[in-house]
Amino acid sequence: MENRINKVDSTRKNPARISEKNVKKRRVLDALFNCVSYVFSSFGVCILVLIIGFVFSKGSSTLSWDFITSDYNTTTVTCSYLDGRDKSITYSNPNVEGLEFSTGWGVGFEDSIDAMNEEVVFVKYVDENSPFNNLTDTSTGETMDDTINLVIDSALLKSAEGDVFVVTGDDGAEVMAQQFDRGNSIMNLTLKTVGGGTRASLETTLYMIGLTLVFALPLGIGCAIYLHEYSKENAMTRIIRSLILATAGVPSIIFGLVGALIFIPFVNSVAGSNGGSIMSGALTLAIMLLPIIVTNTEEAMKTIPSSYKAASLALGASQTQTTFKVILPNAIPGILTGTLLAIGRIIGESAALIYATGASIQDTVLLNGSSTTLSVHIWSLMNGQSPNYKAACAIAIVIIVIDFLLNIIVKLIGNRLQNKFKGVKN
Amino acid sequence: MNNNIENNTMFKANNINLSYGDKHVLKDVNIEIYEKKVTAFIGPSGCGKSTFLRCFDRLNDLIPDCRISGELFLDEKNVEDYNPIVLRSMVGMVFQSPNPFPMSIFDNVAYGPRCQGIKNKKILREIVVNSLKKAALYDEVKDRLKDSGLSLSGGQQQRLCIARTIAMEPEVILMDEPTSALDPIATLKIEKLILELKKDYSIIIVTHNMQQATRISDYTAFFMLGEIIEYNETIELFSRPKNKKTEDYITGRFG
Amino acid sequence: MTKYINRETAVENSKKKTKTDKFIRLVFLIISLLCSSSVIFILILIIYKGISPFINDYVIDGIAYRLNVWDFLTGTSWSGNGGTGYGAGFIVMNTIYVTFFTVLLAAPISIITALVVVRMTNEYFGKIIGSVIELLASIPSVIFGMFGLGVITGWTKSIAEIFDYQTFGGQSNLTVILVLTMMSIPTITMISITALRSVNQNVITGSLALGASLSQTNYKVVLKSAKSGIFSGAILGVNRALGEATAVTMVAGNITNGPSFNLFATTRTLTSTMLAEMGEATGLNYDVRFSCGILLIFLIIFINFLLLRLKNKMGTQEYGK
């Protein structure tokens, strides 16, 4: 009898039957789970930090205004200065660090590394009175007056006594300056542009974005309008929606294959191109990006209160007028979001364009010619025997910065969209 | 007593039956709406008043799977025979929740006329000013016609919606519980406005508020479960209801 | 009051407007049909070009070649040139192998990351992680491939040395798996976040009210409620891994014989086969990539079908809605 009373007592003191041990154990488990969670979730941060660190460390030194704006291929020019220079005139050294100055000619040379990771000598400074301003281009016979930032490949010089000697870029800037001081006239000077620039790829990317949007926006917006404004909820509408969803799931390389199959011959016959071109690439990308435009436009239209459509029709407007005057203007934030997302995809797309446009880096950009967008440029740099990380990372920096900005803008538009129809009930 | 003989009939409904999905919403509705009078539809929630109202400008066409039988005549012509755009320019509607477009006040009122092809700036301005005056809103907004319609208070927004309906010069104005989302002062202003408007327009108003019906309407129809139980001059219906259900409703026994 | 709206012209105009309405409706209908039919055309065209190696003769150096379907589907070596030696069987196995481990690695990390973003008490931390994930999602695949080639191959080499293995410059199954994992994590995480956010608040409150701790609630209740949404995210991650071409091609090594299941050995997937040496491919070598494309499409459809059935089975045990 007493045992039973004791049992009842103990449960009354601890009605929820929770023991001290259990609570402690759960606290420890809790802390453990939290730890594990934080660790796992920081993997994402680690990956991003690693990638950005790698890209910026390898690429930031190469990234420069010249890198963005110059040609990829080098152009060579030979010139000469056959009259002897006036030996009595010497030029003052501007004393810039790294500059090897030739006092006789008034020219400064600098050692540097080009985009292909090779050591070259640049012409970095030309005194305004220097005879270097009057070099003659041997092929055209005209005066070459701008030699700054060109690379010296080799120079054949003649001294006052009549000695002829050669100095090349491998000798370095210091030797170059000394040898020039020895020389009295320039028999033959080979200069070349530094190359490795991405101007053409930048242009190609912009053209690609523009052309793709020209094709994708009307089709995508039109489809969204039909689905939201005109279609009834029947089997055909469901099929259309499923097909568009299915389009979003097809890998990009498949789009590339089919784009190469149909659009390249099509554009060839229509626009006189030969093989892949920006146009065929843009057509391929347009089809690939339709789901993004359709989904975002429809989402925006869904936020428009349905009483707007009723009110517009009640005022005697036709369906077409209602669509273009009331629905479409209010769907613009969503259309913008879709456009920005599409632009991000276009800049980053590689596999589809390798097939549908081609992967050879060019310097002339034509709509019916093949050239590379920024991402395909990276692929091309990485594809050969010796991948050029410096240049590729520099381009990657540009892409990542643009992506970051696009992300922010999309977020801002998203916030505006939420608050636009506050106060108007559906 | 009863001046029915002097009234012209605006709308005549014969045996209207309406269903969507498997819900039979309107059952054998017959009614005559008279010209330049305010007719009120009252009744408990979900009894089909708003649905019936929407038949007058064929807004029920927007609802999928909506089946209507019977005839509704506007000026001797079946509503189905009108081109819906023409019908809706003759029959305007004001909605329960004010819904001005996200455009300027001027553009809101000018929307309807612009859709009809009126482009002349002078004419549009005259239409806008006159409509706003008739809607008793002009004095409050005359300095800010370019401001967004959404920047007005609830009551002002509703008067803006009335103004843009008036801009179409309709013959009938339908109102679906126009004051249910507004405060008492704004409600009174709109009721005053309706009494002014009935000089030029025939008005059909759906309302939950019986006192409102007594204040502003000339004729009242009492709906229940999709049928019209009673339809008479407002004074008669509220003081001497002929049907027991009507009496129960207006004395508050249910609803 | 002067009348500005002319009834007669309104009636005239309305006829024109109704005609315009009908016409515009037709235009929009045609546009949507065009948009939606593109995926059907893609399927038809890939099949059309992809069966060509099996029904047409390709003349190389005077000899006519035609591929055999059985050899193609079960073959274990891919020469990449000439008229024979196009066996894709091992490639399919490698593709599945790599994808399987990718999802195995990426799914737990993504789900827990999503939990942290949505449910952790420290909101600031969660927001940062969320933004990081969004930024990662927008990085193009070439950059991941470049990172893989430049950095991850180095890691693989070091790990291989510990086990006394030789690697082909670090290009291997392991590298491919790691690169694909990094690319799939943002996808799965973002969808899991949406799924977790839509869990019924009452269920969470109910669990806490019963005395469960925060992490018990998170793991036992919240995850279970969001099961189907998270699974959809995982399916999307699988699709991303199956369809990724550029990054994989850069780090796979493209082995010629297989299947290769050794983590440190070079490997080959369907997508890397389609993309490798694209510039010089002509004739049979070019067309057979379309055949690989057919295999890829059917693989994706098949795997999605299986996974969706699995998801529906899971869905019937859901609660909390």
| Mean pLDDT score, A152-173 | 86
Chains in contact with C, where contact means 3 or more Cβ–Cβ distances below 8 Å, are A, B
Beta-bridged to residue B29, according to DSSP, are B16
B117 — contact with chain A (CB < 8 Å)?
no
- Residue A316 to residue C112, Cβ atoms within 8 A: no
A226 at the B interface (CB within 8 A)? no
Q: Does A332 touch chain B (CB under 8 A)?
A: no
Q: Tell whether the torsion through CA atoms of A341, A347, A348 and A353 is positive or negative.
A: positive
pLDDT at C315: 65
Of B52, B30, B41, nearest to B206 (Cα)?
Answer: B41
Q: Are strands B219-224 and A151-159 parallel, antiparallel or unpaired?
A: unpaired
pLDDT band at C321 (very low <50, low <70, confident <90, very high): very low
* The token pair that represents C286 in the structure block: 């070019």
What tokens were used for A367?
């709509």
pLDDT in tens, B162-199: 999 999 999 999 999 999 989 999 999 999 999 999 99
Give me the phi and psi of A151, to 5 degrees please.
-95, 135
Please give, rounded to a whole number of angstroms, the shortest distance from the CA of C10 to a CA of chain A: 10
User: How far B64 CA sits from the closest chain A CA (Å)?
Assistant: 7
Determine what percent of chain A is predicted with pLDDT higher than 70: 92
Q: Which residues in chain B have their CB less than 8 angstroms from residue A320's CB?
A: none
Residue C292: list chain A partners with CB under 8 A. Answer: none
- Taking alpha carbons only, the member of B79, B62, A313, A317 closest to residue C17 is A317
Cα C117 to Cα C193: distance, rounded to the nearest angstrom: 7
Instruction: Please tell me which residue, A33 or A115, carries the higher pLDDT value.
Output: A33
Q: What are phi and psi of A152, to 5 degrees?
A: -90, 120
Q: pLDDT value at position A10? A: 47
Contacts 24+ apart (CB under 8 A), B75-80: B75/B10, B79/B55
Q: Are strands B91-94 and B77-78 parallel, antiparallel or unpaired?
A: unpaired
What's residue C152's pLDDT?
A: 92
Residue C320 pLDDT:
42
**Which 3 state secondary structure label does DSSP give B96?**
coil
Do the Cβ atoms of A325 and B111 come within 8 Å?
yes
Minimal CA separation from B86 to chain A, in Å: 7
> Picking from A351-360, C40-49, C225-234, which range would have the lowest pLDDT averaged per residue?
C225-234
Q: Across the interface, which of C1, C3, C11 has its CB nearest the CB of B86?
A: C11
Q: Residue A112 in 3-state DSSP?
A: strand
Least confident stretch, A304-308, C136-140, C179-183, C278-282: C278-282
Chain B nearest CA to A221, separation (Å):
21
Quick one: which of C146, C171, C141, C177 has its CA closest to C156? Answer: C171
Instruction: Tell me: pLDDT of C44 over 70.
Output: yes
What confidence score (pLDDT) does residue B5 get?
56
User: What pLDDT sits at residue A422?
Assistant: 57
Beta bridge partners of A143: A136
Label the pairing between strands B38-42 and B202-206: parallel
A348:C141 CB<8 A: yes
pLDDT at A107 over 90: no
Classified as helix, coil or strand, B1 is coil
Average pLDDT for chain C: 86
Looking at the predicted structure, is the pLDDT value of residue C132 above 90? no
Provide the pLDDT confidence category of residue A231 given band limits of 50, 70 and 90.
confident
Average pLDDT over residues A224-230: 93
Task: Please tell me the pTM assigned to this model.
Answer: 0.83
| C-alpha distance from B4 to closest chain A C-alpha (Å) | 30
CA dist B31 and A261 (Å) reads 67
pLDDT at C298: 93
Handedness of CA B6, B10, B15, B16 (dihedral sign): negative
Give first-to-last CA distance, chain A, whole Å.
71
Domains and their CATH numbers in chain B: 4-250 (3.40.50.300)
Task: Give pLDDT, residue C255.
Answer: 85
C32, C182, C189 ranked by CB distance to A227: nearest:
C32
Residue B96 CA to its chain's centroid (Å): 10
Test C108 with A40 for CB contact under 8 angstroms: yes
State yes or no: pLDDT of C314 exceeds 80: no
pLDDT of residue A207: 94
Segment C78-94 mean pLDDT:
84
Name the residue among B97, B98, B112 with its Cβ closest to that of A315: B112
Band of the pLDDT at A117, cuts 50, 70, 90?
low
Answer yes or no: are the C-beta atoms of C42 and C293 closer than 8 Å.
no
Is C282:C80 a contact under the CB 8 Å cutoff?
no
Among A118-122, A266-270, B5-9, B152-156, which stretch is predicted with the lowest mean pLDDT?
B5-9
For chain B, say whether A235 makes contact (Cβ under 8 Å): no
Chain C nearest CA to B117, separation (Å): 9
Contact C3 B169 (CB under 8 A): yes
pLDDT digits (tens, 9 = 90+) for C263-276: 888 889 999 999 98
pLDDT of residue B131: 93
Q: Is A251 within 8 Å of C245 when comparing Cβ atoms?
A: yes
Q: Is C27 on the interface with A (CB under 8 A)?
A: yes
Which residues of chain B are within 8 Å of residue A325 when distances are taken between CB atoms?
Answer: 111, 115
On whether any CB of chain A is under 8 Å from the CB of C132, the answer is: yes
* CB within 8 Å: B99 and A312: no
A316 interaction partners in chain B (CB closer than 8 Å): 85-86, 88-89, 112, 115-116, 168
The C-alpha angle B133, B136, B138, rounded to 5 degrees, equals 50
**What is the reported pLDDT for B162?**
94
Q: How confident is the model at residue B221 (pLDDT cuts 50, 70, 90)?
A: very high
* Dist. CA C183–CA C175, nearest whole Å: 12
Cβ atoms within 10 Å, residue C210: 10
Whether A8 has a pLDDT exceeding 80, the answer reads no
| Prior bond of C259 cis (ω within 30°) | yes
Q: Which range (A162-176, A252-266, C34-48, C238-252) has the least confidence?
A: A162-176
- Domains along chain A with CATH numbers: 74-192 (2.30.42), 199-420 (1.10.3720.10)
A287–C38 CB contact, under 8 Å: yes
Of C31, C116, C215, which is closest to A226 when you measure between CB atoms? C31
Give B-chain residues touching A425 at CB under 8 angstroms.
Answer: 97, 99, 181
Q: Across the B/C interface, how many CB contacts are shorter than 8 Å?
A: 36
What residue segments make up the domains of chain C, in order of their start? Answer: 93-315
- Helix crossing, B184-197 with B154-166: angle to 10°? 20
Task: Tell me what percent of the residues of chain C surpass a pLDDT of 90.
Answer: 39
Summarize pLDDT for A333-371 with one digit per residue, the tens. Answer: 889 989 999 999 999 999 999 999 988 888 888 888 888
Question: Touching check for C300 and chain A: CB below 8 Å?
Answer: yes
Contact list, A400 vs chain C (CB under 8 Å): 139, 143
Q: How far apart are the first and last CA of chain B?
A: 30
Chain B CB contacts of C18 under 8 Å are 83-85
Core vs surface per residue B174-183: b (16+ CB within 10 A) or e: bbbbbbebbe
Q: Look at the block and give the residue holding tokens 């659009």.
A: A263
| Residues A251, C298: Cα–Cα separation, whole Å | 12
Report the pLDDT value the prediction gives residue C121, as an integer from 0 to 100.
63
> Could you tell me which residues are beta bridge partners of residue B40?
B205, B220
In this structure, of A177-186, B150-159, C296-305, the range with the lowest mean pLDDT score is A177-186
Report whether pLDDT(A12) > 60: no
Reference A293, options A349, A216, A231; nearest CA is A216
The predicted structure's pLDDT at residue A116: 65
pLDDT category, B254, cuts 50, 70, 90?
low
Is the Cβ of A312 closer than 8 Å to some Cβ of chain B? Answer: yes
Instruction: List, in order, residues 6 or more apart from C264 with CB less than 8 Å away.
Output: C156, C159, C160, C163, C165, C166, C167, C172, C173, C174
Nearest to A318 among B85, B161, B181 (CB): B85
Question: In this predicted structure, what is the pLDDT of residue B204?
Answer: 95
Which residues of chain C make contact with B130, given a CB cutoff of 8 A? 1
User: How far, rounded to the nearest angstrom, does the alpha carbon of residue B4 sit from its chain's CA centroid?
Assistant: 21
- Report DSSP state, residue B192: H
Contact A315 B181 (CB under 8 A): no
**What does C143-178 look like in DSSP terms, one character per residue?**
HHHHHIIIIIHHHHHHHHHHTT---BTTBSHHHHHH
C9–B117 C-beta distance less than 8 A: yes
Quick check: A226 and C18 CB within 8 A? no
Residue C268 near residue C258, CB atoms below 8 Å = yes
In this model, does residue C316 exceed pLDDT 70?
Answer: no
The answer to whether A423 faces chain C, any CB pair under 8 Å, is no
Report the range of poorest mean pLDDT among A81-95, A208-222, A247-261.
A81-95
- What does pLDDT average to over chain B? 89
Of B59, B84, B92, the CB nearest to A310: B59
A105-114, long-range: CB < 8 A, 24+ apart = A105/A130, A105/A131, A105/A132, A105/A180, A105/A181, A106/A130, A106/A131, A106/A132, A107/A132, A107/A177, A107/A180, A108/A177, A109/A152, A109/A173, A109/A176, A109/A177, A110/A173, A111/A172, A111/A173, A114/A151, A114/A194, A114/A195, A114/A196
CATH for the stretch C93-315 = 1.10.3720.10
Cβ of C42 under 8 Å from any chain A Cβ? yes
Give the pLDDT confidence score for residue A303 in this predicted structure: 86
**B155 touching A (Cβ < 8 Å):** no
Question: In the predicted model, what is the mean pLDDT of residues A411-426?
Answer: 68
Determine the average pLDDT of the residues in A235-264: 92
Q: Please give the biggest Cα pair distance in chain A.
A: 131
List, for residues B61-109, the tens digit of each pLDDT value.
888 888 899 999 998 889 988 888 889 989 999 998 898 998 899 999 9
Which of B83, B118, B196 should we substitute to test contact with C (largest number of C Cβ atoms within 10 Å)?
A: B83
Per-residue pLDDT for C65 more than 70? yes
Identify the band that residue B233 occupies on the pLDDT scale cut at 50, 70 and 90. very high
Residues 30-69 of B with CB under 8 A from A: 57, 59, 62, 64
C136 interaction partners in chain A (CB closer than 8 Å): 44, 47-48
Question: By the 8 A CB rule, do C87 and C75 touch?
Answer: yes
- Residues B202 and B181: beta-carbon distance below 8 Å: no
Distance CA C268, CA C251 (A): 10
Q: In this model, does residue C54 exceed pLDDT 90?
A: no
Give me the mean pLDDT over the B205-224 stretch.
Answer: 92
Sign for the pseudo-dihedral over CA of B135, B141, B146, B149: negative
pLDDT band, very low/low/confident/very high, at A298 (cuts 50, 70, 90): very high
Compute the distance between CA of residue A317 and CA of residue C13 in angstroms, rounded to an integer: 11
pLDDT of residue A30: 79
* Pairing relationship of beta strands B202-206 and B219-224 according to DSSP bridges: unpaired
Across C18-45, average pLDDT: 93
Q: How confident is the model at residue C2 (pLDDT cuts 50, 70, 90)?
A: low
Q: What pLDDT, in 10s, does the model give residues C180-203? A: 999 999 999 999 988 888 887 777
Round the average pLDDT of chain A to a whole number and report it: 85
Q: Which residues in chain A touch residue B95, judged by CB atoms under 8 angstroms apart?
A: 307, 310-311
pLDDT for the residue numbered A386: 77
Rg of chain B taking only CA atoms, in angstroms: 18
Q: Are A316 and B102 a contacting pair at CB < 8 A?
A: no
In chain C the first and final C-alpha atoms are separated, in Å, by 60
**Residue A326 per-residue DSSP state:** I
Q: What is the amino acid identity at position A92?
A: S
C142, C247 Cβ separation under 8 angstroms: yes
Contact criterion met (CB below 8 Å) for B68 and B17: yes
Q: Alpha-carbon distance A75 to A194, whole Å?
A: 8
